[in-house]
Amino acid sequence: MDTESIQSGYSSHSNRSNRHGEQSRREHRKLSSKDSSRSERSVINTPDGPTQASPTHNNEPLLKEPTSVTGDEAPSLQDDNWGETTTTAVTGTSELSLSQEEVVGLWKVPDDGQRQGCRLYTPLVLGFCVGLLVLATPLAFLVLPAVLWPARLQACGSACEGLFLSVSCKLLILLLAVWAIFLRQASASLPRVCVYRALLATLTLLLTLSYWLFYGVRILDSQDEDYQGIVQFAVSLVDSLLFVHYLAIVLLEIRHLQPCYSLCVIRSTDGETSCYNLGQLSIQRAALSLLEFYYRDFPLHNPALLSASKHRAAKHLAGLKVYTVDGPGNPAGPAEGSGGLKVGGKSRTMISAAARHKNTTHNELYYEEADYDRRVCKRRARLVVAVEEAFMHVRRMQQEEQKVSPGDVMDVREAASAIFPSMARALQKYLRTTRRQHCHSMDSIQRHLAFCLTHNMSPKAFLEAYLSPGPTLQYGQERWMADRWTLVSEAAVTSSLKEGMVFSLRCLDFSLVVRVKSIPYIRMTEEYVDPKSHKFTLCLQSETSV
Protein backbone atom coordinates (compact mmCIF):
# COMPACT_ATOMS: atom_id res chain seq x y z
CA MET A 1 0.00 0.00 0.00
CA ASP A 2 2.87 2.35 0.64
CA THR A 3 4.13 1.60 -2.82
CA GLU A 4 0.80 2.45 -4.35
CA SER A 5 0.61 5.71 -2.45
CA ILE A 6 4.04 6.79 -3.57
CA GLN A 7 3.31 5.80 -7.14
CA SER A 8 0.06 7.71 -7.07
CA GLY A 9 1.89 10.81 -5.84
CA TYR A 10 4.25 10.56 -8.77
CA SER A 11 1.46 9.98 -11.28
CA SER A 12 -0.22 13.25 -10.25
CA HIS A 13 2.65 15.14 -11.94
CA SER A 14 2.47 13.17 -15.23
CA ASN A 15 0.19 13.71 -18.20
CA ARG A 16 -0.11 10.06 -19.07
CA SER A 17 -2.44 7.24 -17.92
CA ASN A 18 -5.26 9.57 -16.70
CA ARG A 19 -7.52 6.73 -15.68
CA HIS A 20 -4.90 5.16 -13.47
CA GLY A 21 -4.09 8.62 -12.06
CA GLU A 22 -7.70 9.21 -10.95
CA GLN A 23 -7.85 5.84 -9.24
CA SER A 24 -4.52 6.32 -7.47
CA ARG A 25 -5.55 9.80 -6.23
CA ARG A 26 -8.72 8.34 -4.66
CA GLU A 27 -6.63 5.72 -2.87
CA HIS A 28 -4.22 8.41 -1.76
CA ARG A 29 -7.06 10.44 -0.18
CA LYS A 30 -8.27 7.36 1.71
CA LEU A 31 -4.80 6.61 3.10
CA SER A 32 -3.91 10.23 3.96
CA SER A 33 -5.86 10.15 7.25
CA LYS A 34 -4.10 6.96 8.40
CA ASP A 35 -0.59 7.94 7.35
CA SER A 36 -0.58 11.61 8.39
CA SER A 37 2.84 11.20 10.02
CA ARG A 38 4.28 10.47 6.60
CA SER A 39 3.04 13.67 4.98
CA GLU A 40 6.42 15.36 5.17
CA ARG A 41 8.54 12.50 3.85
CA SER A 42 8.16 9.38 1.73
CA VAL A 43 10.02 6.12 1.25
CA ILE A 44 10.83 5.21 -2.31
CA ASN A 45 10.20 1.54 -3.12
CA THR A 46 11.19 -0.03 -6.38
CA PRO A 47 8.17 -0.68 -8.63
CA ASP A 48 7.71 -4.11 -10.03
CA GLY A 49 7.16 -2.94 -13.58
CA PRO A 50 7.88 0.03 -15.80
CA THR A 51 4.25 1.09 -16.09
CA GLN A 52 4.44 4.06 -13.71
CA ALA A 53 5.74 7.36 -14.93
CA SER A 54 8.61 9.14 -13.26
CA PRO A 55 8.33 12.73 -11.96
CA THR A 56 9.34 15.26 -14.55
CA HIS A 57 10.67 18.80 -14.62
CA ASN A 58 10.60 20.70 -17.96
CA ASN A 59 9.57 17.44 -19.68
CA GLU A 60 12.69 15.67 -18.36
CA PRO A 61 12.74 12.83 -15.82
CA LEU A 62 13.93 13.79 -12.37
CA LEU A 63 15.22 10.38 -11.30
CA LYS A 64 16.17 7.35 -13.28
CA GLU A 65 14.27 4.15 -12.64
CA PRO A 66 16.19 2.18 -10.03
CA THR A 67 16.92 -1.47 -10.44
CA SER A 68 16.11 -3.90 -7.68
CA VAL A 69 19.01 -5.79 -6.15
CA THR A 70 18.26 -8.36 -3.48
CA GLY A 71 20.05 -11.05 -1.58
CA ASP A 72 23.65 -11.94 -2.28
CA GLU A 73 23.62 -10.24 -5.69
CA ALA A 74 24.18 -6.77 -4.21
CA PRO A 75 27.91 -7.10 -3.42
CA SER A 76 28.64 -8.76 -6.73
CA LEU A 77 27.08 -5.95 -8.76
CA GLN A 78 29.07 -3.20 -7.06
CA ASP A 79 32.31 -2.08 -8.65
CA ASP A 80 35.03 0.44 -7.88
CA ASN A 81 32.90 3.28 -9.26
CA TRP A 82 29.93 2.65 -7.04
CA GLY A 83 30.27 6.12 -5.50
CA GLU A 84 29.76 7.73 -8.91
CA THR A 85 26.74 5.63 -9.95
CA THR A 86 24.75 5.93 -6.73
CA THR A 87 21.75 8.24 -7.05
CA THR A 88 20.40 10.19 -4.07
CA ALA A 89 16.66 10.89 -4.17
CA VAL A 90 15.10 13.88 -2.41
CA THR A 91 11.32 13.67 -2.21
CA GLY A 92 8.58 15.70 -0.55
CA THR A 93 5.04 16.96 -0.88
CA SER A 94 5.90 20.21 -2.68
CA GLU A 95 4.33 20.78 -6.09
CA LEU A 96 7.56 22.36 -7.40
CA SER A 97 10.28 19.89 -8.45
CA LEU A 98 13.93 20.53 -9.23
CA SER A 99 16.40 18.69 -11.38
CA GLN A 100 19.56 17.14 -9.95
CA GLU A 101 21.75 19.77 -11.59
CA GLU A 102 19.73 22.54 -9.95
CA VAL A 103 19.86 20.84 -6.54
CA VAL A 104 23.62 20.42 -6.77
CA GLY A 105 24.03 24.00 -7.94
CA LEU A 106 22.46 25.28 -4.74
CA TRP A 107 25.38 23.99 -2.70
CA LYS A 108 28.21 25.02 -4.98
CA VAL A 109 30.75 27.36 -3.43
CA PRO A 110 31.64 30.29 -5.71
CA ASP A 111 35.13 30.35 -7.12
CA ASP A 112 37.50 32.24 -4.86
CA GLY A 113 39.96 33.17 -7.59
CA GLN A 114 39.12 36.86 -7.22
CA ARG A 115 39.56 36.62 -3.45
CA GLN A 116 42.96 34.99 -3.83
CA GLY A 117 43.96 37.63 -6.37
CA CYS A 118 43.01 40.44 -3.98
CA ARG A 119 44.91 38.83 -1.13
CA LEU A 120 47.95 38.38 -3.35
CA TYR A 121 48.12 41.82 -4.97
CA THR A 122 46.76 44.10 -2.25
CA PRO A 123 49.94 43.98 -0.07
CA LEU A 124 52.06 44.41 -3.18
CA VAL A 125 50.13 47.51 -4.29
CA LEU A 126 50.24 49.03 -0.80
CA GLY A 127 53.96 48.39 -0.51
CA PHE A 128 54.58 49.90 -3.92
CA CYS A 129 52.66 53.06 -2.96
CA VAL A 130 54.59 53.42 0.31
CA GLY A 131 57.92 52.85 -1.44
CA LEU A 132 57.10 55.38 -4.13
CA LEU A 133 56.19 57.94 -1.46
CA VAL A 134 59.41 57.26 0.45
CA LEU A 135 61.67 57.59 -2.58
CA ALA A 136 59.90 60.69 -3.93
CA THR A 137 59.94 62.59 -0.60
CA PRO A 138 63.68 63.55 -0.53
CA LEU A 139 63.50 64.69 -4.14
CA ALA A 140 60.43 66.78 -3.36
CA PHE A 141 62.26 68.38 -0.43
CA LEU A 142 65.01 69.53 -2.81
CA VAL A 143 62.78 70.65 -5.70
CA LEU A 144 59.99 72.55 -3.93
CA PRO A 145 62.11 75.48 -2.62
CA ALA A 146 63.73 75.93 -6.03
CA VAL A 147 60.28 76.11 -7.62
CA LEU A 148 58.32 78.17 -5.09
CA TRP A 149 60.82 80.86 -4.02
CA PRO A 150 63.97 80.59 -6.17
CA ALA A 151 64.92 84.27 -5.88
CA ARG A 152 65.18 84.22 -2.09
CA LEU A 153 67.37 81.13 -1.76
CA GLN A 154 70.97 81.54 -0.67
CA ALA A 155 73.62 79.97 -2.87
CA CYS A 156 75.55 77.21 -1.12
CA GLY A 157 78.08 76.33 -3.83
CA SER A 158 80.16 73.18 -3.68
CA ALA A 159 78.74 72.12 -0.29
CA CYS A 160 75.30 71.60 -1.81
CA GLU A 161 76.79 69.78 -4.79
CA GLY A 162 78.46 67.27 -2.43
CA LEU A 163 75.18 66.80 -0.59
CA PHE A 164 73.38 66.27 -3.90
CA LEU A 165 75.84 63.53 -4.78
CA SER A 166 75.37 61.94 -1.34
CA VAL A 167 71.57 61.96 -1.64
CA SER A 168 71.64 60.44 -5.14
CA CYS A 169 74.00 57.61 -4.09
CA LYS A 170 72.03 56.82 -0.94
CA LEU A 171 68.73 56.79 -2.83
CA LEU A 172 70.18 54.42 -5.41
CA ILE A 173 71.44 52.10 -2.66
CA LEU A 174 68.09 52.29 -0.88
CA LEU A 175 66.24 51.49 -4.09
CA LEU A 176 68.38 48.38 -4.72
CA ALA A 177 68.04 47.30 -1.07
CA VAL A 178 64.25 47.63 -1.14
CA TRP A 179 64.12 45.67 -4.39
CA ALA A 180 66.24 42.88 -2.89
CA ILE A 181 64.21 42.51 0.32
CA PHE A 182 60.63 43.57 -0.34
CA LEU A 183 60.05 43.20 -4.09
CA ARG A 184 60.76 39.49 -4.36
CA GLN A 185 58.21 37.20 -5.94
CA ALA A 186 56.06 35.57 -3.28
CA SER A 187 56.31 31.78 -3.16
CA ALA A 188 53.09 31.32 -1.18
CA SER A 189 50.09 33.18 0.18
CA LEU A 190 49.81 33.28 3.97
CA PRO A 191 46.50 33.44 5.84
CA ARG A 192 47.54 36.51 7.87
CA VAL A 193 49.73 39.54 7.30
CA CYS A 194 53.30 39.28 8.57
CA VAL A 195 53.54 41.29 11.79
CA TYR A 196 57.08 42.55 11.21
CA ARG A 197 56.35 43.63 7.64
CA ALA A 198 53.29 45.55 8.79
CA LEU A 199 55.31 47.10 11.64
CA LEU A 200 58.09 48.21 9.30
CA ALA A 201 55.65 49.64 6.77
CA THR A 202 53.87 51.58 9.52
CA LEU A 203 57.16 52.86 10.94
CA THR A 204 58.31 53.99 7.50
CA LEU A 205 55.04 55.72 6.81
CA LEU A 206 55.05 57.50 10.19
CA LEU A 207 58.65 58.59 9.70
CA THR A 208 57.90 60.02 6.27
CA LEU A 209 54.78 61.83 7.47
CA SER A 210 56.70 63.28 10.43
CA TYR A 211 59.34 64.68 8.09
CA TRP A 212 56.62 66.11 5.85
CA LEU A 213 54.95 67.75 8.85
CA PHE A 214 58.20 69.33 10.03
CA TYR A 215 59.03 70.38 6.47
CA GLY A 216 55.67 72.04 5.99
CA VAL A 217 55.76 73.94 9.29
CA ARG A 218 59.42 75.02 9.42
CA ILE A 219 60.32 75.39 5.74
CA LEU A 220 57.25 75.83 3.51
CA ASP A 221 55.37 78.24 5.76
CA SER A 222 58.36 80.42 6.57
CA GLN A 223 59.98 80.01 3.12
CA ASP A 224 63.40 79.31 4.59
CA GLU A 225 66.22 80.89 2.61
CA ASP A 226 69.01 78.55 3.83
CA TYR A 227 69.09 76.04 0.96
CA GLN A 228 72.04 74.14 2.45
CA GLY A 229 70.01 73.43 5.59
CA ILE A 230 67.13 72.18 3.40
CA VAL A 231 69.49 69.82 1.58
CA GLN A 232 70.87 68.51 4.88
CA PHE A 233 67.30 67.96 6.04
CA ALA A 234 66.68 65.76 2.99
CA VAL A 235 69.96 63.89 3.65
CA SER A 236 68.86 63.15 7.23
CA LEU A 237 65.61 61.64 5.91
CA VAL A 238 67.51 59.34 3.57
CA ASP A 239 69.82 58.27 6.42
CA SER A 240 66.78 57.46 8.61
CA LEU A 241 65.27 55.37 5.81
CA LEU A 242 68.53 53.44 5.45
CA PHE A 243 68.50 52.63 9.16
CA VAL A 244 64.88 51.46 8.90
CA HIS A 245 65.92 49.15 6.08
CA TYR A 246 68.74 47.82 8.27
CA LEU A 247 66.13 47.10 10.96
CA ALA A 248 64.07 45.24 8.36
CA ILE A 249 67.06 43.03 7.50
CA VAL A 250 67.56 42.20 11.19
CA LEU A 251 63.90 41.34 11.83
CA LEU A 252 63.08 39.54 8.59
CA GLU A 253 66.34 37.86 7.59
CA ILE A 254 68.75 37.54 10.53
CA ARG A 255 66.57 37.02 13.61
CA HIS A 256 65.37 33.52 12.69
CA LEU A 257 68.75 32.16 11.54
CA GLN A 258 69.74 30.88 14.98
CA PRO A 259 67.90 27.57 15.65
CA CYS A 260 65.70 27.68 18.73
CA TYR A 261 63.08 24.95 18.18
CA SER A 262 63.00 21.42 16.80
CA LEU A 263 59.83 20.72 14.83
CA CYS A 264 58.78 17.09 14.29
CA VAL A 265 56.60 16.63 11.18
CA ILE A 266 54.48 13.47 10.94
CA ARG A 267 52.37 12.52 7.93
CA SER A 268 49.04 11.27 9.22
CA THR A 269 48.49 8.42 6.74
CA ASP A 270 51.75 6.47 6.57
CA GLY A 271 53.59 7.96 9.57
CA GLU A 272 56.52 9.34 7.56
CA THR A 273 58.47 11.50 10.03
CA SER A 274 61.20 14.11 9.81
CA CYS A 275 62.55 16.77 12.16
CA TYR A 276 63.77 20.27 11.37
CA ASN A 277 65.41 23.03 13.41
CA LEU A 278 63.97 26.52 13.06
CA GLY A 279 64.48 29.85 14.74
CA GLN A 280 62.16 32.49 16.12
CA LEU A 281 59.32 32.39 13.60
CA SER A 282 55.58 32.85 13.64
CA ILE A 283 53.39 29.79 13.19
CA GLN A 284 52.43 30.65 9.61
CA ARG A 285 56.02 31.31 8.52
CA ALA A 286 57.17 28.12 10.24
CA ALA A 287 54.41 26.24 8.40
CA LEU A 288 55.59 27.72 5.10
CA SER A 289 59.17 26.63 5.79
CA LEU A 290 58.00 23.14 6.73
CA LEU A 291 56.05 22.82 3.48
CA GLU A 292 59.17 23.76 1.52
CA PHE A 293 61.07 21.07 3.42
CA TYR A 294 58.23 18.61 2.85
CA TYR A 295 58.33 18.93 -0.94
CA ARG A 296 62.09 18.51 -0.84
CA ASP A 297 62.55 15.67 1.68
CA PHE A 298 59.36 13.62 1.99
CA PRO A 299 58.66 10.91 -0.60
CA LEU A 300 55.57 11.27 -2.72
CA HIS A 301 52.39 10.34 -0.87
CA ASN A 302 51.09 7.05 -2.23
CA PRO A 303 47.56 6.22 -1.04
CA ALA A 304 47.67 2.85 -2.84
CA LEU A 305 50.08 1.50 -0.20
CA LEU A 306 47.47 2.11 2.51
CA SER A 307 44.84 -0.17 1.00
CA ALA A 308 46.59 -3.40 2.02
CA SER A 309 45.43 -3.29 5.64
CA LYS A 310 41.88 -2.34 4.58
CA HIS A 311 41.80 -5.22 2.12
CA ARG A 312 42.97 -7.62 4.83
CA ALA A 313 40.34 -6.36 7.27
CA ALA A 314 37.60 -6.63 4.65
CA LYS A 315 38.73 -10.15 3.82
CA HIS A 316 38.68 -11.06 7.49
CA LEU A 317 35.15 -9.69 7.96
CA ALA A 318 33.89 -11.32 4.77
CA GLY A 319 35.02 -14.73 6.00
CA LEU A 320 32.81 -14.50 9.10
CA LYS A 321 29.02 -14.64 8.96
CA VAL A 322 26.81 -14.23 12.03
CA TYR A 323 23.12 -15.01 11.76
CA THR A 324 20.24 -13.99 14.03
CA VAL A 325 17.93 -16.97 14.24
CA ASP A 326 14.83 -15.22 15.59
CA GLY A 327 15.52 -11.69 14.42
CA PRO A 328 12.73 -9.22 13.69
CA GLY A 329 13.57 -9.10 9.99
CA ASN A 330 13.45 -12.89 9.50
CA PRO A 331 10.78 -14.63 11.61
CA ALA A 332 11.37 -18.02 10.08
CA GLY A 333 15.14 -17.87 10.62
CA PRO A 334 17.80 -18.68 8.02
CA ALA A 335 18.66 -22.23 7.28
CA GLU A 336 22.39 -21.55 7.50
CA GLY A 337 22.27 -20.63 11.16
CA SER A 338 20.10 -23.54 12.34
CA GLY A 339 23.06 -25.77 13.03
CA GLY A 340 24.57 -23.63 15.79
CA LEU A 341 23.41 -22.95 19.33
CA LYS A 342 22.14 -19.44 19.95
CA VAL A 343 24.01 -17.59 22.72
CA GLY A 344 23.33 -13.84 23.08
CA GLY A 345 22.13 -13.54 19.47
CA LYS A 346 25.29 -15.12 17.96
CA SER A 347 26.28 -18.63 17.14
CA ARG A 348 28.86 -20.44 19.27
CA THR A 349 30.34 -21.87 16.12
CA MET A 350 30.89 -18.45 14.61
CA ILE A 351 32.43 -17.09 17.81
CA SER A 352 34.90 -19.97 18.02
CA ALA A 353 35.74 -19.57 14.32
CA ALA A 354 36.41 -15.88 14.86
CA ALA A 355 38.72 -16.67 17.79
CA ARG A 356 40.68 -19.21 15.73
CA HIS A 357 40.94 -16.79 12.83
CA LYS A 358 42.19 -14.06 15.15
CA ASN A 359 44.99 -16.31 16.36
CA THR A 360 46.17 -16.97 12.79
CA THR A 361 46.01 -13.38 11.53
CA HIS A 362 49.70 -12.72 12.15
CA ASN A 363 50.60 -15.80 10.08
CA GLU A 364 48.53 -14.48 7.19
CA LEU A 365 50.25 -11.12 7.45
CA TYR A 366 53.70 -12.75 7.51
CA TYR A 367 53.09 -14.89 4.44
CA GLU A 368 51.42 -12.02 2.63
CA GLU A 369 54.43 -9.75 3.15
CA ALA A 370 56.84 -12.53 2.24
CA ASP A 371 54.96 -13.22 -0.99
CA TYR A 372 54.89 -9.50 -1.79
CA ASP A 373 58.67 -9.19 -1.28
CA ARG A 374 59.23 -12.22 -3.50
CA ARG A 375 57.11 -10.78 -6.29
CA VAL A 376 58.82 -7.38 -6.02
CA CYS A 377 62.28 -8.96 -6.25
CA LYS A 378 61.18 -11.01 -9.25
CA ARG A 379 59.75 -8.00 -11.08
CA ARG A 380 62.79 -5.93 -10.21
CA ALA A 381 65.20 -8.51 -11.62
CA ARG A 382 63.24 -8.70 -14.87
CA LEU A 383 63.17 -4.92 -15.14
CA VAL A 384 66.91 -4.56 -14.55
CA VAL A 385 67.70 -7.17 -17.21
CA ALA A 386 65.34 -5.57 -19.74
CA VAL A 387 66.79 -2.09 -19.20
CA GLU A 388 70.38 -3.30 -19.45
CA GLU A 389 69.63 -5.10 -22.71
CA ALA A 390 67.95 -1.98 -24.10
CA PHE A 391 70.92 0.23 -23.20
CA MET A 392 73.34 -2.30 -24.72
CA HIS A 393 71.29 -2.15 -27.91
CA VAL A 394 71.60 1.64 -27.91
CA ARG A 395 75.36 1.45 -27.51
CA ARG A 396 75.60 -0.94 -30.46
CA MET A 397 73.47 1.42 -32.53
CA GLN A 398 75.77 4.32 -31.60
CA GLN A 399 78.82 2.36 -32.69
CA GLU A 400 77.16 1.55 -36.00
CA GLU A 401 76.06 5.15 -36.54
CA GLN A 402 79.65 6.35 -36.25
CA LYS A 403 80.40 4.46 -39.45
CA VAL A 404 77.55 5.94 -41.49
CA SER A 405 77.11 9.47 -42.83
CA PRO A 406 76.01 12.22 -40.38
CA GLY A 407 72.68 12.63 -42.17
CA ASP A 408 71.54 9.11 -41.21
CA VAL A 409 72.14 9.51 -37.44
CA MET A 410 69.05 8.75 -35.32
CA ASP A 411 67.73 11.43 -33.00
CA VAL A 412 67.74 10.84 -29.24
CA ARG A 413 63.96 10.92 -29.01
CA GLU A 414 63.67 8.43 -31.85
CA ALA A 415 66.13 6.14 -30.10
CA ALA A 416 64.16 6.40 -26.84
CA SER A 417 60.90 5.60 -28.66
CA ALA A 418 62.59 2.65 -30.39
CA ILE A 419 63.91 0.93 -27.24
CA PHE A 420 61.04 1.82 -24.91
CA PRO A 421 58.72 -1.06 -26.01
CA SER A 422 61.38 -3.62 -25.04
CA MET A 423 61.28 -2.49 -21.39
CA ALA A 424 57.74 -1.16 -21.16
CA ARG A 425 56.09 -4.42 -20.07
CA ALA A 426 58.64 -5.18 -17.36
CA LEU A 427 58.48 -1.61 -16.07
CA GLN A 428 54.70 -1.61 -16.06
CA LYS A 429 54.52 -4.87 -14.09
CA TYR A 430 57.06 -3.61 -11.57
CA LEU A 431 55.21 -0.33 -11.03
CA ARG A 432 51.92 -2.16 -10.62
CA THR A 433 53.45 -4.55 -8.09
CA THR A 434 54.92 -1.70 -6.07
CA ARG A 435 51.65 0.30 -6.47
CA ARG A 436 53.39 3.30 -8.06
CA GLN A 437 51.93 3.11 -11.55
CA HIS A 438 49.95 6.34 -11.02
CA CYS A 439 53.16 8.29 -10.32
CA HIS A 440 54.69 7.78 -13.76
CA SER A 441 53.06 8.28 -17.14
CA MET A 442 54.35 6.91 -20.43
CA ASP A 443 55.35 10.37 -21.66
CA SER A 444 57.32 11.12 -18.49
CA ILE A 445 59.16 7.77 -18.74
CA GLN A 446 60.08 8.42 -22.37
CA ARG A 447 61.31 11.92 -21.53
CA HIS A 448 63.42 10.53 -18.71
CA LEU A 449 64.81 7.86 -21.01
CA ALA A 450 65.71 10.47 -23.64
CA PHE A 451 67.36 12.58 -20.92
CA CYS A 452 69.50 9.63 -19.79
CA LEU A 453 70.51 8.82 -23.36
CA THR A 454 71.39 12.46 -24.06
CA HIS A 455 73.75 12.65 -21.08
CA ASN A 456 75.14 9.13 -21.60
CA MET A 457 73.88 7.77 -18.27
CA SER A 458 74.03 4.16 -17.18
CA PRO A 459 71.03 1.81 -16.83
CA LYS A 460 71.29 2.08 -13.05
CA ALA A 461 70.93 5.86 -13.27
CA PHE A 462 67.77 5.40 -15.35
CA LEU A 463 66.28 2.84 -12.96
CA GLU A 464 66.95 4.84 -9.81
CA ALA A 465 63.90 7.02 -10.46
CA TYR A 466 61.62 3.95 -10.44
CA LEU A 467 63.20 1.51 -7.99
CA SER A 468 62.81 3.83 -5.01
CA PRO A 469 60.26 6.63 -4.38
CA GLY A 470 61.80 10.07 -4.76
CA PRO A 471 60.98 13.42 -3.20
CA THR A 472 57.73 15.11 -4.09
CA LEU A 473 59.35 17.79 -6.25
CA GLN A 474 60.74 15.17 -8.66
CA TYR A 475 57.22 14.48 -9.90
CA GLY A 476 54.82 16.73 -11.73
CA GLN A 477 52.53 19.03 -9.82
CA GLU A 478 49.52 17.02 -10.94
CA ARG A 479 50.96 14.02 -9.02
CA TRP A 480 51.31 15.89 -5.73
CA MET A 481 47.59 15.60 -4.89
CA ALA A 482 48.02 18.62 -2.60
CA ASP A 483 48.10 22.17 -3.94
CA ARG A 484 46.10 23.92 -1.20
CA TRP A 485 46.92 23.62 2.48
CA THR A 486 44.92 24.63 5.52
CA LEU A 487 46.71 25.67 8.70
CA VAL A 488 44.91 24.50 11.85
CA SER A 489 46.18 25.90 15.13
CA GLU A 490 44.67 26.68 18.51
CA ALA A 491 46.97 29.68 18.90
CA ALA A 492 46.98 32.65 16.55
CA VAL A 493 48.98 31.96 13.41
CA THR A 494 50.86 35.26 13.85
CA SER A 495 52.15 34.27 17.31
CA SER A 496 55.66 32.92 17.78
CA LEU A 497 56.57 29.28 18.26
CA LYS A 498 56.55 27.97 21.81
CA GLU A 499 57.47 24.79 23.65
CA GLY A 500 54.81 22.05 23.37
CA MET A 501 52.81 23.76 20.64
CA VAL A 502 50.98 21.49 18.18
CA PHE A 503 49.49 22.51 14.83
CA SER A 504 48.64 20.74 11.61
CA LEU A 505 48.68 21.37 7.88
CA ARG A 506 45.78 19.71 6.10
CA CYS A 507 45.16 18.96 2.46
CA LEU A 508 42.61 16.79 0.69
CA ASP A 509 44.03 13.33 1.40
CA PHE A 510 46.27 13.66 4.43
CA SER A 511 47.63 16.10 6.98
CA LEU A 512 51.01 17.00 8.47
CA VAL A 513 50.99 17.11 12.26
CA VAL A 514 53.74 19.30 13.74
CA ARG A 515 55.01 19.17 17.32
CA VAL A 516 57.30 21.90 18.63
CA LYS A 517 60.16 21.17 21.03
CA SER A 518 62.66 23.75 22.22
CA ILE A 519 66.34 23.03 21.74
CA PRO A 520 67.91 22.55 25.19
CA TYR A 521 70.48 24.94 26.52
CA ILE A 522 73.88 23.27 26.21
CA ARG A 523 76.44 23.92 28.93
CA MET A 524 79.96 22.98 27.97
CA THR A 525 82.92 22.92 30.38
CA GLU A 526 86.60 22.44 29.84
CA GLU A 527 88.90 20.00 31.59
CA TYR A 528 92.63 20.57 31.34
CA VAL A 529 94.80 17.51 30.73
CA ASP A 530 98.49 17.81 31.54
CA PRO A 531 100.55 16.72 28.51
CA LYS A 532 103.15 15.12 30.85
CA SER A 533 100.55 12.72 32.22
CA HIS A 534 100.57 10.84 28.89
CA LYS A 535 104.28 9.99 29.05
CA PHE A 536 105.42 6.54 30.18
CA THR A 537 108.70 4.62 30.47
CA LEU A 538 109.43 1.25 28.86
CA CYS A 539 111.78 -0.85 31.01
CA LEU A 540 113.66 -3.62 29.18
CA GLN A 541 115.31 -6.59 30.88
CA SER A 542 118.39 -8.25 29.52
CA GLU A 543 116.86 -11.71 29.88
CA THR A 544 114.09 -10.96 27.42
CA SER A 545 114.43 -11.58 23.69
CA VAL A 546 113.61 -7.95 22.81
Secondary structure (3-state) at 157:
coil
User: 152 or 381, which is more confident?
Assistant: 381
pLDDT band at 261 (very low <50, low <70, confident <90, very high): very high
Determine contact, residues 434/376, Cβ cutoff 8 Å: yes
- Residue 132 and residue 126: Cα distance in Å, rounded? 10
Segment 403-415 shows an average pLDDT of 70
Residue 541 exposed, middle or buried by CB count within 10 Å (0-12, 13-18, 19+)? exposed
Domain boundaries, the chain: 117-256, 261-301+480-518, 304-318+352-468
Any idea which of 108-117, 197-206, 509-518 has the lowest mean pLDDT? 108-117
Q: Decide if 130 contacts 201 (C-beta within 8 A).
A: yes
Residues ≥6 apart with Cβ < 8 Å to 56: 13, 14, 62, 97
**What is the rounded average pLDDT for all residues in the chain?**
74
- Of the two residues 304 and 353, the one the predictor is more confident about is 304
Neighbouring C-beta atoms of residue 404, cutoff 10 Å: 9
pLDDT tens-place string over residues 453-476: 889 899 999 999 899 888 888 887
* Most confident segment among 8-12, 38-42, 234-238: 234-238
Mean pLDDT over 426-436 rounds to 91
pLDDT tens-place string over residues 368-405: 888 989 999 999 999 999 999 999 988 888 777 777 66
Would you place residue 356 in the very low, low, confident or very high pLDDT band (cuts 50, 70, 90)?
A: low
Q: Find the mean pLDDT for residues 401-417.
A: 72
Averaged pLDDT, 472-499: 84
Shortest CA distance to 426 belongs to which of 415, 412, 414, 437? 437
118 vs 53 pLDDT, higher one: 118
pLDDT band at residue 348 using 50, 70 and 90 as cut-offs: low
Range picked from 30-34, 403-407, 433-437, 487-491 for highest mean pLDDT: 487-491
Banded pLDDT at 116 (limits 50, 70, 90) = low
Whole-number pLDDT of residue 324: 56
CB-based burial of residue 58 (10 Å sphere; 0-12 exposed, 13-18 middle, 19+ buried)? exposed
Task: Report the predicted TM-score, pTM, of the whole model to 2 decimal places.
Answer: 0.66
- Is residue 289 scored above 90 in pLDDT? yes
What's the pLDDT at 332? 45
Produce one character per residue of 288-312: b if its CB has 16 or more CB atoms within 10 Å, e if not.
bbbbebbeeebebbbeeeeeeeeee
Cβ–Cβ < 8 Å for 401, 410: yes
Average pLDDT over residues 191-198: 88
Instruction: Confirm if 141 and 230 have CB atoms less than 8 A apart.
Output: yes
Nearest by Cα to 138 from 183, 113, 92, 175: 175
* More confident of the two residues 250 and 538: 250
**Position 110 pLDDT exceeds 80:** no
Asked whether 207 and 130 are in contact (CB, 8 A), the reply is no
Looking at residue 408, what is its pLDDT?
Answer: 58
430: confidence class by pLDDT, cuts 50, 70, 90? very high
Residues in the chain: 546
Instruction: Give the containing element (helix H, strand E) for 468.
Output: none
Most confident of 72-86, 317-331, 386-400, 513-527: 513-527
Q: Tens of pLDDT along 153-169?
A: 777 778 888 888 999 99
